[in-house]
Each structure stands twice: as structure tokens, then as C-alpha cells.
């Protein structure tokens, strides 16, 4: 099949990601499809790393926050719009879904990464057909907010030869919180909860295009004593920290449809302690603690030291890139044959 992968345009897509969940998923999907013999074209920022044999339509990276990316993605669309009907299937990981906004009846999967309740109203300009949600919760919220059909399709994937436990690692008596430096991600809450529980915590994070330097500085000032600031680390270092942490504390303050850091933690054998919000119960399953009250959160932090970490690795198998892509190919074939919803 001839398959077009359309993606977000914030940073070049690299073999080893830099806190680039969505672009890296697109990168892995493209390479798996190429391995299977499909003809793959990717819309990606200039400087992206794709193997020979995958066509890259190179674009200027977005220079503004994602919610301002409409003009950048529209400019990229001009580079391939005349070819749009040459593809048997289009997998659109972008924010703005430009192809289906301007072209009717495409064989396309429009992946929506955001909870519509959290997103800026209509900024993301949801297309009118073939909406794909990355969790059952996400599909339900999309239907409620926009009164449009959305289908859950396992889209998140990881390279489990990279994200994996280290059998030689010693699990240390401390926890970790990771993610973008944005108040809704809950680093301050993770610090507060771990101080209350009396346990050490590592705090790692980065500043993206839509994040908050003032919050970044606030979180750094909150560290000290048993709370250690590690800041932005390489992906390899992040994996090493997860392999050696008692748990990943995900104290996000809003209902998310997914969390890349949660997937990464589980794949590395690190159980997750999180609030029962959004899709977290659906994602974490039996591979951690999903709680409703602060007392239960503190108790989970204490109990997770004795958690069976093999449950995390087993849970992560569902997001193996080979398994996920192989399950998507029949959907490509179906939309190529005309299925729409």
C-alpha cells in the first residue's frame, strides 16, 4: 500500500526521541510499515531522521505553540495536496488535520490526541469524519463534546527493545515524576504528596513550546532535601531512572486521554501511582495504583515498594510497535476500500 503519515511539526523526528511522544510514534509506525514492504511517505520537519526508502516531505518546524500551528500545517499541506489522492491510506497524527479539513472522502485516520474538554474550544478544528481516539475515554469525550462519532483504535506504541526493564538494576527507595513543565501536569502536587508521605522523589521535566518558565522555576524552588531536581534528561537517562525508581508519580491535575510517561514507565517495569482521572484507570490497569483520595494516594506510595513489577512489563506488551502496527493495517485496508464513519 501507499501510505502517507502526517504528523505534528514541532521538532525534527529522531531515532532517539527528545520528549517527543507523538512524532516518535509516527516515526515508529512509518518504519514498521516500511519493514513490511509498504510505500511510506512522511510529512515531517526538515532534519528528521528516516531510513532510506521512506520518502520525507520536509517542512519548516513550527515556531509557535501547538495551538498556533494551523498556519504551519497549512503551509506543509501545500507541498503534498496535489498528491493527496495518490495514497491508499493516510494516518494523520497532526494537531490540525488539514488534509480532511480541505478534502472530502479521504481514506484517512484522524488521530485526536487531546481531551476535547481540555483543549482550546475548536482551536484544533476537528475534521468531520474518521476520528480516531487513543483511549475509550477519549472516544467517549469526543462524542460528548462534539456530537461526532469517534472510534477507539490502539495507536500509541513503543519500541519495547528500547523501553524495557534492566534485570541488573537495583530498585532504589525513591520515586520519580516526569513531564512537561506545565501546571496541569502536577509536578507540584507530586512534590507535596511525596513530602507528606515522607519519601524521596526525583523531579524531571522540560520546557516545550506551550509550557511555563515561571512554573518551571517554581518547581525547582520546591525541590530540596528529599526532593531532587534532575531537570531535562536524555531518553536513555530517563529509562535508567525509571528502571530504578519505586514508582512513577503521575499527579496530573486534569483528565487526560493518555500519558506517554505512563506508557514509558510501565515498559521499564516501573509501577504508576496516579489519580483516577480521565483514561488513567484504562491505561494503568493492574500495573499500579489509580486512586480517588489523597489518603489513598499516600497509602499507595507506601505500598508500591512491594509491587510486582512484572505486571507493568506485561501491561506494556499491548503497546508493542509490531503488535500495534500489525493491528492497524486491516483498518488501512478498510478505509482504502471506502469505509467512513
Sign of CA dihedral 271, 275, 276, 278: negative
- 90 and 221 assigned to the same domain: no
Contact partners, residue 116, CB within 8 Å, separation at least 6: 124, 126, 141, 142, 144, 145, 146
- 77 and 22 assigned to the same domain: yes
Rounded percentage of the chain residues whose pLDDT exceeds 90 = 75
Structural domain count, the chain: 2
**What integer pLDDT is reported at residue 121 of this predicted model?**
47
- 95 and 191 assigned to the same domain: no
pTM above 0.85, yes or no: yes
Between residues 173 and 207, which one has the greater pLDDT?
Answer: 173
Q: What is the pLDDT of residues 40-49, one digit of tens each?
A: 999 999 999 9
Asked if residue 169 belongs to a domain, the reply is no
Asked if residue 166 belongs to a domain, the reply is no
**What integer pLDDT is reported at residue 19 of this predicted model?**
66
- 213 and 101 assigned to the same domain: no
- 49 and 149 assigned to the same domain: yes
Q: What is the pLDDT of residues 294-320, one digit of tens each?
A: 999 999 999 999 999 999 999 999 999
Residue whose C-alpha is closest to residue 154's, from 21, 341, 327: 327
**What integer pLDDT is reported at residue 99 of this predicted model?**
95
Q: What is the pLDDT of residues 157-179, one digit of tens each?
A: 999 999 999 999 999 899 999 98
Average pLDDT over residues 213-231: 93
37's torsion region: left (phi>0), alpha (psi -120 to 50) or beta? left
Asked if residue 165 belongs to a domain, the reply is no
Q: What is the pLDDT of residues 114-141, one digit of tens each?
A: 887 776 444 445 567 999 999 999 999 9
Average pLDDT over residues 275-290: 97
Whether residue 200 contacts residue 174, with contact meaning beta carbons closer than 8 Å, is answered with yes
Give the CATH number for residue 260.
Answer: 3.40.50.2000
- 91 and 190 assigned to the same domain: no
Asked if residue 163 belongs to a domain, the reply is no
Grid coordinates given for 337: 476500500
Whether residue 341 contacts residue 334, with contact meaning beta carbons closer than 8 Å, is answered with no
Residue 295 structural domain: 175-318
**What integer pLDDT is reported at residue 68 of this predicted model?**
52
- 131 and 184 assigned to the same domain: no
Asked if residue 287 belongs to a domain, the reply is yes
- 218 and 285 assigned to the same domain: yes
- 276 and 251 assigned to the same domain: yes
- 92 and 199 assigned to the same domain: no
Rounded percentage of the chain residues whose pLDDT exceeds 70 = 93
- 182 and 314 assigned to the same domain: yes
Asked if residue 167 belongs to a domain, the reply is no
Average pLDDT, the chain: 91
**What integer pLDDT is reported at residue 125 of this predicted model?**
55
**What integer pLDDT is reported at residue 123 of this predicted model?**
46
Using pLDDT thresholds of 50, 70 and 90, give the confidence band for residue 9.
confident
- 234 and 295 assigned to the same domain: yes
Amino acid at each position: 500500500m501507499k501510505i502517507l503519515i502526517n504528523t505534528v511539526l514541532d521538532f525534527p523526528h529522531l531515532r532517539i526521541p527528545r520528549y517527543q511522544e507523538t512524532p516518535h510514534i509516527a516515526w515508529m509506525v512509518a518504519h514498521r510499515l516500511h519493514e513490511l514492504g509498504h510505500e511510506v511517505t512522511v510529512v515531517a520537519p526538515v532534519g528528521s531522521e528516516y531510513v532510506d526508502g521512506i520518502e520525507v516531505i520536509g517542512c519548516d518546524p513550527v515556531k509557535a505553540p501547538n495551538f498556533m500551528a494551523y498556519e504551519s500545517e497549512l503551509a506543509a499541506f501545500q507541498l503534498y495536496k496535489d498528491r493527496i489522492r495518490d495514497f491508499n491510506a493516510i494516518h494523520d497524527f497532526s494537531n490540525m488535520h488539514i488534509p480532511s479539513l480541505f478534502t472530502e472522502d479521504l481514506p484517512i485516520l484522524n488521530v485526536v490526541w487531546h481531551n476535547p474538554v481540555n483543549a482550546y474550544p475548536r482551536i484544533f478544528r476537528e475534521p468531520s469524519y474518521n476520528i480516531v481516539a487513543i483511549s475509550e475515554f477519549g472516544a467517549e469525550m469526543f462524542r460528548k463534546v462534539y456530537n461526532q462519532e469517534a472510534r477507539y483504535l490502539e495507536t500509541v506504541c513503543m519500541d519495547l527493545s528500547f523501553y524495557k526493564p534492566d534485570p541488573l538494576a537495583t530498585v532504589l527507595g525513591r520515586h520519580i515524576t516526569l513531564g512537561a513543565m506545565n501546571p496541569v501536569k502536577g509536578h507540584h502536587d507530586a512534590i507535596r504528596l511525596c513530602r507528606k508521605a515522607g519519601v524521596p522523589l526525583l523531579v524531571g521535566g522540560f520546557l516545550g513550546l506551550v509550557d511555563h518558565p515561571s512554573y518551571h522555576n517554581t518547581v525547582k524552588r520546591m525541590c530540596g532535601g528529599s526532593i531532587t531536581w534532575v531537570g531535562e534528561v536524555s531518553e536513555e537517562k530517563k529509562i535508567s531512572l525509571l528502571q530504578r525508581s519505586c514508582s512513577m508519580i503521575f499527579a496530573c491535575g486534569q483528565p487526560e486521554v493518555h500519558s506517554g510517561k505512563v506508557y514509558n514507565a510501565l515498559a521499564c517495569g516501573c509501577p504508576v501511582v496516579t489519580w483516577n482521572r480521565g483514561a488513567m484507570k484504562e491505561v494503568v490497569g493492574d500495573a499500579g495504583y489509580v486512586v480517588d483520595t489523597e489518603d489513598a494516594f499516600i497509602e499507595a506510595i507506601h505500598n508500591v515498594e512491594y509491587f510486582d513489577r512484572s505486571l507493568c512489563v506485561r501491561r506494556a506488551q499491548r503497546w508493542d510497535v509490531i503488535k500495534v502496527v500489525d493491528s492497524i493495517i486491516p483498518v488501512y485496508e478498510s478505509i482504502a476500500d471506502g469505509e467512513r464513519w
